[in-house]
Chains A and B, each alone.
Chain A
Amino acid sequence: MNQVSKIQRRRRLLLCLALICLPMVMNAAWAHKVLLGLWPDGSDIEGELGFSNGDMAAPGTLVEVLGPDGEPIGETRVTEEGLFRFTPTRSVPHTFRANLGAGHVAKASLPMDEMPKIRDSGTPSGDAASVESQAVVPVSAERPADAPTLDPTALEMLIAEAVRREVKPLRRELSALKEKIGFQQVLGGLGYIAGISGLLFFVYARRS
């Protein structure tokens, strides 16, 4: 009998240890939420679609593009590495929606002030851009003659491209960090459950 209780005690101890170690193992675990990121790229909108565990959406995944009132504007498909590209034709806020199946849905919007300038559409914003670039040209003409001449808009695009490339790992890390579940959150949740149990004890004890 004594031996049995000893074994039981040891088992209980093991159970407790397992419960304590569990959160430490889990810290590295991710939720499989769907992430959808958007940014302007020249006159296009580029985006990235993937799961929060670092996997990207499969090539060919449909991404719907919706207008400000939820009306469909168009659609695009994911190419490689979870990237997709859409050329806007109207200067309204665009909302992108993707369904990766099994209840995995993601939605993200690009507000008006982040929208790319629309090319070849004759909208006022497009005109303003071309006027601006013409105005800059005389300034660049003042440079030494031996310097390679570079169209300012092309330069702007090159810089934007370079910055995007540099920032890409950062953006990934940031979204991973946002999805990371800290020890505090786990403890907070467990605390709530303990609190609710206590509250129920109080209520049921008063009732009986």
Chain B
Amino acid sequence: MHIVDGALSAPVLVGGTLLAAAGIVRGARDLNLERIPSAGLLSAAFFVASLVHVPIGPSSVHLILNGLAGLVLGWISFPALFVGLLLQALFFGFGGLTVLGVNTLDIALPAVIVGLLCRPGVRSANAALAAFWGGIAGALAIALTALMVAAVLALSGDAFIPAAKLVVIAHVPVMLIEGLLCAAAVTLVRKVKPELFGMPADASAVGLRAAEVRS
């Protein structure tokens, strides 16, 4: 999922970097003392998840966990995932420093979109429904990321349809795995720490206190 140095044209790199910087600034505005720990935790989870490889066919793909990040962090996904990507580039040599902005955009923007779309569903009083939405969030974030990678490659000269096909097909197994993982994580978080989704601490009082907590 990481695009490496030298694969993209200069305008794409500059554009991606500027958009990613805007996203990071937007995310930093949302950040506050209460949300730093969850941002750090998801940043660490993202950093480590890239090492979990799923071997498929001739290649292998790795977990990304941006759906979960989007659900918990919203716009803060941008700074959190940027830190994770920066450290991956420095420590593991994944991606590269010049493509850091584009990679951040490819991974964090789907997280934000998924967060906006699926967060209400995850907050649902029905646990099964919430898990379903969690699964959708995990899978959708990967699909959007794959499409963005294909689009970025297309802007740099690769033909979009074959590139998109290749990237999306390669990520279908990850979509399934991330969907299941995200559904499980949502179920767990709802039981252990529902505040992460902006829900009241006592899960049994969701219906009564949801409005109060949201404000």
Contact = CB atoms under 8 A, between A and B. Distances in A.
Interface in A194-208: 194, 196-197, 200-201, 204-205, 208
Contact of B48 (A34, A101, A190, A208): A190
A173 interface: no
Contacts, number: 119
A39 B76 CA distance: 47
B192 A15 contact: yes
Q: Which of under 10, 10 to 19, 20 to 34, or 35 or more describes the interface residues of B?
A: 35 or more
A42 B53 CA distance: 39
B91 A188 contact: yes
Given A26-B51, A190-B48, A193-B43, A105 B7 contact: yes
Contacts of A22: 48, 52
B59 A99 contact: no
Nearest to B57: A55
Contacts of A11: 188, 191-192
A30 B53 contact: yes
A30 B93 CA distance: 12
Contacts of A179: 93
Contact of B192 (A8, A32, A208): A8
Q: Which of A189, A190, A205 has the most CB of B within 10 A?
A: A189
7 contacts: A31-B92, A32-B53, A99-B7, A101-B163, A186-B48, A192-B87, A193-B47
Interface of B: 2-8, 31-33, 36-37, 39-40, 43-44, 47-48, 51-53, 55, 58-62, 83-84, 87-88, 90-94, 149, 153, 158, 162-163, 166-167, 170, 188, 191-192
Interface of A: 8, 11-12, 15, 22-23, 25-26, 29-34, 51, 53, 55, 58, 99, 101-105, 107, 179, 181, 185-186, 188-190, 192-194, 196-197, 200-201, 204-205, 208
| 5 pairs of A and B residues whose beta carbons are closest in the complex | A197-B40, A103-B3, A26-B51, A29-B53, A189-B87
